[in-house]
Amino acid sequence: MLHEQLVLFIGSNAMRSAAAVSVMLTIASCMLANELPNVQNKIPRFEDFDRKRKLSGLIPNREELMKRPRVIIGYLSEKDWAITEFLCFMHASWRYVTSLAEPTGYRLDLMVFSDLHWFRDVASLCEPLTLVDVIADEKGEAEADGSEGGSNSKGSVSHLQGGGAVGLVGGRHGGGTGEYPQLRRQGNKSTCWVVPYPPPPESVWQGYPFVASYHFLADPRVAHLLTSNFGYALKTDFDCFVTPTLIQHFPWQLEVGYMHYTPVLETKQRLQRVAAGLGLRHRGHHDIGPTWYGDVATLIAVANASIPLVYHLLDREFGGEPDGSWRRKWAAGEGWPLWSKDMAVMYATDLVLNHLVETFHISQKYDVHGDSQRYTFTLYHIHCQHGDGNFSKFEFFMHKYRDRDITVGLDFNRVRDYSLVLSVATWRQLAAGKIGAQANGSIITKAGKGPVCAENGGGDVRGPDGGGGGDSADAGIAQEGAG
């Protein structure tokens, strides 16, 4: 019965069919691409990192932020299998969760920052947004105000690369402004949005894929969009599922997932040596997952502060080619488990949170393995990491569990079965042409291939499941058990 309800829901919910997408969408996507200036060509130097700055980590104005919409954010790469992960994992679970959330009065939007390769496909399911050049707008307003002898009443604070100020918009944390009127609508219906956004520039990142996990958050236009319209945000990869438990969860402090990237002691010791060499404090907290949940401004600040450290680690802490370029062995996981370039985006956040954020919570309720036997009502977020357990994203990409009967013998409240039912039911509807504008075209043709080795923003770790959270030496940092 549950399976039949899910199939009915998945097949009939608000996804648009191919017939609903006009030729104008293709034209619009090209226009939007042309309107997207690359604001991130500047090399992010560690010298831009403000070592004196500190963030509380506590949620400011929590009661006010709880009244605002929340948003799940992530980057969709150009990889052929990335669209399948998005549709069958994140988007499928988001649709299920928000179908339960609407009666509660809580709105939980999904915002996809998409490579142009998949923008048209995602725009057939989600509402497209164009980023507003808020810096140019503010400059024009300031000039106009100055000519009148006044001051800029908008009061926005620029969001600067390298951990610069991420402040209040319109004098309020997470307040509303008029640049995106479509976001400020009546009612509690959650909406999926798609923003065309380029990958990390080759001229800076030399093809390093994992910084895409949060590179878009360093864009002042993105910061303005998010802080202007949302209170809480969940930054995630898209090989993930959210659970209904997230609906009524509003933490008092920044929460991050748990991911075991320090299976050997030497990795922890090296991270602490790097911190000391850079003049950063390190409080000994490791295995910080790629999923972050908290107020929008704090997430943006953490991403901005992390980016210069990612670049520094790649440039200074790993071997290079004779010409000075980086060795591009990302997929091979060079140096895992001791010291891996794949993990540079994780190492950078490790350094930033230990130095910058006074209070945060390392929780095993995020980034939970997709083959876990835990119950979904005890956690918020599932991450399909490396491994051949059941549910396995690699098994899914190989054969889509095509011979698996998902109508019997499963407990939808358990992580492994929740992941299996949502992903397989969605794929079968997609393959039948009942979901998505390109269901009989590029999505099925390309996305059916699957990854040889995942490259979705540093969210996957080659190594054993971490299990315990370790000891917390700082009263401001809580590490949560698996219970």
Counting Cβ atoms within 10 Å, is residue 283 exposed (0-12), middle (13-18) or buried (19+)?
A: middle
Residue type, 453: C
* Residue type for position 398: M
Cβ atoms 242, 381 nearer than 8 A: yes
Give yes or no for a contact between 72 and 108, defined as CB atoms under 8 angstroms apart: yes
How many degrees, rounded to 5, is the angle at CA 475 between CA 473 and CA 481? 75
pLDDT value of position 38: 52
Give the model's pLDDT for residue 327: 81
Q: How far is CA 4 from CA 12, 88, 425, in A?
A: 12, 17, 10
Listed in sequence order, the DSSP H helices in 86-172 are 92-101, 116-123, 134-147
Q: What are the structure tokens assigned to 197, written together?
A: 């956004």
Alpha-helix residue ranges (DSSP H) falling in 332-400:
344-356, 393-399
Task: List the structure tokens of 374.
Answer: 């835990």
DSSP class of 184 = S
pLDDT at residue number 178: 65
Dihedral (Cα; 49, 50, 54, 55), 10-degree rounding: -50
Residues in the chain, total: 483
Instruction: Give the position of tokens 């605002």.
Output: 68
What residues make up the domain containing 236? 2-479
What is the crossing angle of helices 92-101 and 2-12, to 10°? 100
The partner residues of 429 in beta bridges, in order of sequence, read none
Rounded Cα distance between 65 and 44, Å, is 31
Maximum C-alpha span of the chain: 73
Q: What does the pLDDT profile of the chain (483 residues) look like in tens digits?
A: 444 444 444 444 444 443 344 434 443 544 454 354 555 678 898 988 888 899 999 999 999 999 999 999 999 999 989 999 999 999 999 999 999 998 999 999 999 999 999 999 999 999 999 998 865 555 554 454 444 443 333 333 233 333 333 333 333 333 345 688 888 776 789 999 999 999 999 999 999 999 999 999 999 999 999 999 999 999 999 999 999 999 999 999 999 999 999 999 999 999 999 999 999 999 999 999 999 999 999 999 999 999 999 999 999 999 888 888 888 777 666 788 899 999 999 999 999 999 999 999 999 999 999 999 999 999 999 999 877 778 999 999 998 999 999 999 999 999 999 999 999 999 999 988 876 544 334 444 444 444 333 333 333 333 333 333 333 333 344 444 443
DSSP 8-state code for residue 433: T
Q: What total number of domains does the chain contain? A: 1
Residue 231 confidence (pLDDT)? 97
- CA 468 to CA 460: how far, in whole Å? 18
